[in-house]
Chain A
Amino acid sequence: MINLISPFKLRELGILGMNRRNIGLIGTYNQRCNYSIADNKLATKSAALSRGIPVPELYSTVERQFQVRAVDEQIQALSSFVIKPAQGSGGKGILVITGRDGDQFIKSSGALISISDVKRHISNILAGLHSLGGRNDVAMIEALIDFDPSLKDYSFEGVPDIRIIVFRGVPVMAMMRCATKASDGKANLHQGAVGVGIDIGSGQTVAAVQQSALIAEHPDTGIGFDGLEVPYWSQVLNLAAGCASMAGLGYLGADIVLDRLRGPMLLELNARPGLAIQVANQAGLRHRLAQAEDIANSTDNQEQKISLARKQFTQSKQTEAQLALDIY
């Protein structure tokens, strides 16, 4: 017999369902015309740069098929880089090259590929293979993130990124996504990556979940999640909250990575963030969204929104007390 939870219980827990997310949040708070910044990574990047929000360095873009031939010269000089479609969704079509082995390129998984494989990947991106609705797309060649060594062991191969849900400028919930062997170095939770719920107040771990089962340590690296505290946490929250006004979206997910030298950087924005973050936090979004609504109605000041959110959404008593002192 399949084990199901009663819908009443779910409602009591404040779990947000896909239908309510689509109608009540995305349909209500995200204007169609404002999707363009979040849906196009190139647009995200230029908007972020104009506001001084740090992003990974863009080496070049490939917009037309004939330019693919010239890619050789551009990337011969690079030892590591990332190629991604500007309008890709759900992390599709991202090729991470971490190093070189003679003429070959080393993928993040360790596999070797040739320059013609790289070019084919770019051609596919241009033809719109990874994009929503198969539209023609642009390939971006970016710097590989030199990620913060303090988080190194929490991820197998890939880069751990931090997803923060921001509702009307108020950070509501956060998680870190750690790639595993099972997820093939990708940070997709349904492929077996670990979702680590992060306390909004403190930046510390709330819970860690793999395939919706609670775990205590990383299945591949063996490191325990209980000691984890995201560095630069208030910067991270600031960055995420700043993205909301930049993109003009009432409900969005900001994906943030921590660079060793440059600190928190915006990786991409998501106008339709998924629901798995609730499992990673072992908490529902709906109650928090209602509180965030009150916060957003009470103030327009970004810093106030963040500090109120940190106070209200924290799950640790100690932080609560600490933050209470900070505010008054």
Chain B
Amino acid sequence: MVSSRVQVSLIAAGLIILGLGLCLYKAVNLGFPLFPGEYRDVWTVESKISFRPSRAEAVEVELKLPTMLAGWSNVDEYFASSGFGFTVIAPSKDNGFESRRARWTRQTLERPTTLYYKQQMFRANQAKALPDLPVSEVSPPLLENDRQAAMARLVDRLSQQSSDRESFTGQLLQEFLRQSPDQDSLFLLGSYQEDSLVVIMDVLAYKGIPAHQLRGIVLEDGRRRQTLSSLIEIHNGVKWVIFDPQNASVGLPDNFFIWQRGDGAVLNVVGGRDSSLEFALVSNSLPVKTVISMGQRSEQVDLLDFSVYALPVEQQGIFKGLLLIPVAALVVVLMRVLVGIRTSGTFMPVLIALAFIQTTLLVGLIIFLGLVGVGLWIRSYLSRLNLLLVSRVAAVIIVVILLMAVLAVTSYRLGLDQALTVTFFPTVIIAWTIERMSILWEEEGGHEVLIQGSGSLLVAVLAYIAMSSQIISHLTFNFPELMLSLLGVILLLGKYTGFRLSELYRFRDMGSPQEPRL
């Protein structure tokens, strides 16, 4: 017993010191800030170019790289080009608005291939406007007679409803957003057989309004397989104005990152087919200081930098959540070993807490209580049907999913978007919770259900509070080595033989006999 105790203490002390030491080293020598100061959202965008080779041809892939506009600032970029010749082509001097291009080349290629371009950037200045562009001559599109006529009628009608170029564009976008556009627009859409954006650009050209597309990415944290979307920029005679064709609103949306300003393809693949360009996005809140020094540092201390930033973006997003789980586990250990709260299922509270992170606390609590309550009620009926246990739990699982669907649909109809997050609850866990609770109810009475149920919820809420704290997520993500210290603390707690808080209450009368003994 002594030896195992000593072992645990030594290992735990080693782990705690190692974790804290690494953390301190990073903080002092590498300048990682221990405490979050002013934050910037740093977006990591991973562009994934996939294509299949055409037969026996040299492959040349050219990707236009984004120009940092609208206050965005580049932190770091990285190209993956195994087996390809690779160059970055700087824009020619005489055309200031052309962007850099990345070019991958290879003589022969057999397999379908994926190329990566990863980039980290943040928005240093929200308010910064786009630089001015020279207005070029607008040439009307060449059209067949019937289309020309339809377009003329459409432009005529829209011109009567509008006073200037801006309002014309607004009207035009509205026209194509409407559920039932008029006959001319329908005819144009039908005969173009293309995206409505192409029609819109042609109409603008027909009207003589200088316009071009803004290609870019709608920024969404944790999003994978995002594709390029487009905005429209027109010149109103004085300056350029941006429109969003999705909702006809004016101005650059905050969550839109401009990849390319102007028409033309972003990706060119010669010698390949079925090419696609997809983006994976993840956003990290990082202190300004870190952001600024990140570029230089990553090259100097690659080996020592244990931070999760080294991973591909898709995994970073996953790890962001995973790294929080040890904190929740610690909360469970503390609550059970030091306080003595009874929970139903040892780590069930962690799963509930993870669901709460997705749903937000109040909504999550309401949904959870609702699901378990209705589930218990239905389970009490199932128990009368005399079913085998496994089928009964399976039945409860299906009922829970049905309840989730009903809840999601009705709340969506009612306009309560939050309830849609119900899907983040682990169905099987909820079904088992219902089963356990109902057995508990039958055997030990509602009192025990209340104790264990509220115990689980209390621990889940505490774990949620710990996991959603900004300092804790800052520390776990930037200093994953602290997990070692956490492990050490949990090992030590595993050897704690003192009293639990609940026992101080349980044995409260032991010290002072109330009556003379028998």
Minimum Cβ distance to chain A for residue B121 (Å):
50
Asked if A129 contacts B518 (CB within 8 A), the reply is: no
Q: Tell whether, in the assembled complex, residue B518 and residue A205 are in contact, meaning their CB atoms are under 8 Å apart.
A: yes
Closest A residue by C-beta to B5: A23
Are A19's CB and B515's CB within 8 A?
Answer: no
Question: Would you call B509 an interface residue if the criterion is a C-beta within 8 Å of the partner chain's C-beta atoms?
Answer: yes
Question: Is A24 part of the binding interface, using a Cβ–Cβ cutoff of 8 Å?
Answer: yes
Q: Are B504 and A19 in contact (CB under 8 A)?
A: no
- Whole-angstrom distance between the alpha carbons of A242 and B244 in the complex? 85
Contact of B505 among A4, A11, A119, A225 (CB under 8 A): A4
A305 to B443, CA, bound (A): 39
Min distance, Cβ A213 to any Cβ of chain B, angstroms: 7
Instruction: Decide if A212 touches B509 in the complex (CB within 8 Å).
Output: yes
Interface size class of A (residues with CB under 8 A): 35 or more
Q: Please indicate which of the listed interface residues A7, A11, A19, A93 has the most CB atoms of chain B within 10 Å of its own CB.
A: A19
Stretch at the interface among B135-143, B166-174, B235-243, B386-394: B386-394
A212 to B514 Cα, complex, angstroms: 11
In the complex, A300 has a CB within 8 A of chain B: no
A113 within 8 A of B: no
Is B267 positioned at the interface, with any CB of A under 8 Å from its CB?
no
- A92 and B443 in contact, given A13-B511, A19-B499 (Cβ under 8 angstroms): yes
Among the stretches B202-210, B312-320, B490-498, the one at the interface with A is B490-498
Check if B518 sits within 8 Å of A123, measured CB to CB.
Answer: no
Determine whether the beta carbon of B340 is less than 8 Å from that of A23. Answer: no
Q: Which of A1-58 contact B (CB under 8 A)?
A: 2-7, 9-11, 13, 15, 17-20, 23-24, 28
Flag if B498 contacts A7 (CB, 8 Å): yes
Which of A20, A23, A207 makes the CB contact (< 8 A) with B518? A207
Q: How far is the CB of B308 from chain A (nearest CB, A)?
A: 35
Q: Which residue of A5, A13, A214 is within 8 Å of B504 (Cβ)? A: A5
Closest to B340 in A: A18
Known: A2-B505, A7-B504, A127-B389. A19 touches B510 (CB 8 A): no
Q: Pick from B337, B386, B390, B511: contact of A19, CB below 8 A.
A: B337
Q: Which residues of B contact A3 (CB under 8 A)?
A: 505, 508
Q: Are A23 and B508 in contact (CB under 8 A)?
A: no
A266 part of interface (Cβ distance < 8 Å): no
The answer to whether B504 touches A129, judged by C-beta atoms less than 8 angstroms apart, is no
Within 8 Å CB of A28, what residues of B? Answer: 1
Q: Are B511 and A9 in contact (CB under 8 A)?
A: yes
Q: Which listed residue (B495, B499, B508, B514) contacts A17, Cβ 8 A?
A: B499
**Docked pose: A282 CA to B507 CA in angstroms:** 9
- Give chain A residues whose Cβ lies under 8 Å from the Cβ of B330: none
Distance in Å: Cβ of B433 to nearest Cβ of chain A: 13
B388, B439, B506 pick with most chain A CB within 10 angstroms: B506
Q: How distant is the Cα of A165 from the Cα of B511 in the complex, in angstroms?
A: 22
B146 at interface, CB cutoff 8 A: no
Known: A7-B498, A28-B1, A123-B388. A278 touches B505 (CB 8 A): no
Chain A proximity of B107: nearest CB distance (Å): 61
Least Cβ–Cβ distance between B1 and chain A, in angstroms: 5
Q: Is the CB of A13 within 8 A of B439?
A: no
Cβ proximity bits A213-248 to B, threshold 8 Å, 1 near / 0 not: 110100000000110000000000000000000000
Query: Which of A20, A28, A124, A216 has the most chain B CB within a 10 Å cutoff?
Result: A124
Q: In the complex, which residue of chain B has the Cβ closest to the Cβ of A283? A: B510
Q: How many A-B residue pairs have CB under 8 A?
A: 107
Look across to chain B and name the residue whose beta carbon is closest to the beta carbon of A123: B388
| A124-B392 Cα distance, complex, nearest whole Å | 10
Task: Tell me how far the C-beta of B333 lies from the nearest C-beta in chain A, rounded to whole angstroms.
Answer: 11
Q: Any chain B CB within 8 A of the CB of A208?
A: yes
Shortest Cβ gap from B455 to chain A (Å): 14
| List of B residues within 8 angstroms of A203 by Cβ | none
A212–B504 Cα distance when bound, in Å, is 13
Q: B residues within 8 A CB of A279?
A: 506-507, 510
The residues of B that contact A129 with a CB separation of less than 8 Å are 389, 439
A67 neighbours in B (Cβ, 8 Å):
none
Which residue of chain B has its CB nearest to the CB of A116? B386
Which residue of the partner chain A has the closest CB to B499? A17
* Pick from B389, B497, B510: contact of A123, CB under 8 Å: B389
Taking a contact as CB atoms under 8 Å apart, the answer to whether B504 and A10 are in contact is yes
The smallest C-beta distance from B18 to any residue of chain A, in angstroms, reads: 25
> In the complex, are the beta carbons of A4 and B504 less than 8 A apart?
yes
Indicate whether A225 sits within 8 Å of B513 (C-beta atoms), given known contacts A19-B499, A116-B386: no
Find out whether the CB atom of A128 lies under 8 angstroms from the CB atom of B517: no
Q: Is the CB of A191 within 8 A of B510?
A: no
- Separation in Å of the A179 CB from the closest CB of chain B? 14
B417 is an interface residue with CB less than 8 A from chain A: no
A299 to B489, CA, bound (A): 41
The answer for the CA separation of A282 and B508 in the assembled complex, in Å, is 11
A249 at the A/B interface (Cβ < 8 Å)?
no
What does the 1/0 interface line of A276-311 toward B look like (CB < 8 Å)? 001100101000000000000000000000000000
Answer whether residue A252 sits at the interface, using C-beta atoms and an 8 A cutoff.
no
Closest chain A CB from B436 CB (angstroms): 9
| Chain B residues closer than 8 Å to A205, beta-carbon distance | 518
Contacts of B337 in A (CB 8 A): 19
Query: Is the C-beta of B156 less than 8 angstroms from some C-beta in chain A?
Result: no
| Residue contact B507 to A23, C-beta cutoff 8 Å | no
Interface residue B445 (Cβ < 8 Å from any Cβ of A):
yes
Contact residues in B for A188 (Cβ distance below 8 Å)? 444
When each residue 85-123 of chain A gets 1 if its CB lies under 8 Å from chain B and 0 otherwise, what string results?
000000011000000000000000000000010011001
Do B514 and A213 touch (CB < 8 A)?
yes
Question: How many angstroms from the CA of A128 to the CA of B308 in the assembled complex?
Answer: 43
Chain B CB within 8 A of A61 CB = no
Taking the complex as formed, is A176 at the interface, i.e. its CB lies under 8 A from any CB of chain B? no
A206 on the interface (CB 8 Å rule)? yes
Closest chain-B Cβ to A231's Cβ sits at a distance in Å of: 18
- Closest chain-A Cβ to B318's Cβ sits at a distance in Å of 29
Please tell me if the beta carbons of A225 and B518 are within 8 angstroms of each other in the complex: yes
B52 interface hit (Cβ, 8 Å): no
User: Among the listed B388, B443, B503, which residue makes an inter-chain contact with A18, where contact means beta carbons less than 8 Å apart?
Assistant: B503
Kindly identify which residue among A5, A128, A206 contacts B508, using a CB–CB cutoff of 8 Å: A5
Decide yes or no whether A312 CB sits under 8 A from chain B: no
Inter-chain contact B388/A19, CB cutoff 8 Å:
no
18 A-B contacts (beta carbon < 8 Å): A5-B505, A5-B509, A5-B510, A6-B504, A7-B499, A13-B510, A17-B497, A17-B500, A18-B340, A18-B503, A19-B498, A20-B498, A116-B386, A130-B439, A208-B518, A275-B503, A279-B506, A282-B517
Given A2-B505, A129-B389, 5 other A-B residues pairs in contact with their CB atoms under 8 A: A17-B503, A20-B498, A127-B388, A212-B507, A275-B503
The residues of A with any CB-CB pair to B shorter than 8 Å are 2-7, 9-11, 13, 15, 17-20, 23-24, 28, 65, 92-93, 116, 119-120, 123-124, 127-130, 184, 188, 191, 205-208, 212-214, 216, 225-226, 275, 278-279, 282, 284
Pairs of residues from A and B, 6 with the lowest C-beta to C-beta distance, nearest first:
A127-B389, A20-B497, A17-B499, A226-B518, A4-B504, A120-B386
